[in-house]
Amino acid sequence: MHKYYGGETERALKNFPFSTHKVRQEFVRALVFIKKAAAYANFEDKGFGMEISRAISKACDEVLGGKHEQQFLLPALQGGAGTSVNMNVNEVLAGLATEMLNKQNKKFKVHPNDHVNRSMSTNDANPSAVKIAALFLKENLELALENLVKVFELKGVEFKKNKKLGRTHLQDAVPTTLGAEFFSYAATIQRHLGKIKNTSGLLQELNLGGTAIGNSINADAVYIKSVYKNLNKFTGRKFRPAKNLMSLTSSQTDFLAVSQAVTSLCVDLSKIANDIRLLASGPRGGLGEISLKKLQKGSSIMPGKVNPVLPETVNQLYFLVSGNNLAIEHAAHASQLELGVMVPVIADKLLESLKLTTEVISEFAKNCIVPMVANAKELEKYLENSTAFSTLFVPLLGYDVVSEVVKKSVLEGRTLREVMLEKKLVTNEQFEKVINNFKKNVH
């Protein structure tokens, strides 16, 4: 493999010989978008000529087109606020651009700092790149969430006539429908979708143009205006400079806000997954109110056992995202004076949370929720044998009387109907009327 990177990348490889995965390609691509926009902006502010601008731009296009991924070898864990990542990108683009010019018999060397990195610093390029990458990934997450909402709503319609026992504290509560539970899940995810969409403004506001500490040293007004114009043209998004560039160079809590929104989503996703695991428990010793698609063997020793592997994956997604959020929180807290120096771990963990949440949600919707079926007999059995209908008789008989009926019913293993008829609290017709009126209107 021909090496387009140079000495700074090689030094970083020696300084960070860690077994972690490499810097995420989404982060690299976002940096390349910035370098391409800067190549145009630096020409427009007369920083360098058209030939260098075009060569850097073409080098950027090659990387954005999927070429040269093997040139970006640095581990995600590294010190220096991500200077190594920035220089890796600068060196590769400079090497590619130089090669292109030389093939045209133009003996000129494109410099990684003087040309590719002109008018910027790691300290404004890297946080801006993280926001760009995060915005792209967040948009994918939003699509996955919109689909999950639709899937839950379709199940709500499918299950709306399946009456069942509602439970609180894992105890008999009141009657409801399986459809109502799934409409509830849809509404929960819809709220999280709204919260996540609301973070777009944070990700669209960049410190690009602030250079080292946010006071725009070596970046003039022409460049700053042009770099945003071109960045928006190339990405198809609407990024804008922060009112105070130093603020966004120093503070990294915008990333934390996005992470917290994703973590909050995963809390409820995991809760829903736990509900599904409980409702699908069995096949004989659990509730068995729903059945999930059989995806794989559940045991290497117990024949026929099938486990709820996708709900369990959702649970573990929450554990992972929650841990990432804590890492991001600590990294943001470790900002010092004019710079948030812990960008590498923020970039790695935030992009992982966004990307993995999207992937898991997509599989959960497709192979768990969509093929799920209701077990009508089990639903009816638990409802009819429960004490759930007792609350319906409180307006008629009073709380204390009904409480005694419930206690006697549970103690003697008899139905509410049997106890009420024995005590002559209601007639059979009255009992049926109360139950039937409820069943007609239950939701």
Give the active site residues.
299
| Token pair for 82 | 């991500």
How many angstroms separate the CA atoms of 250 and 80, rounded?
15
Q: Are 126 and 37 in contact (CB under 8 A)?
A: no
| Token pair for 153 | 């709503």
Q: Any bridge partners for residue 373, and if so which?
A: 291
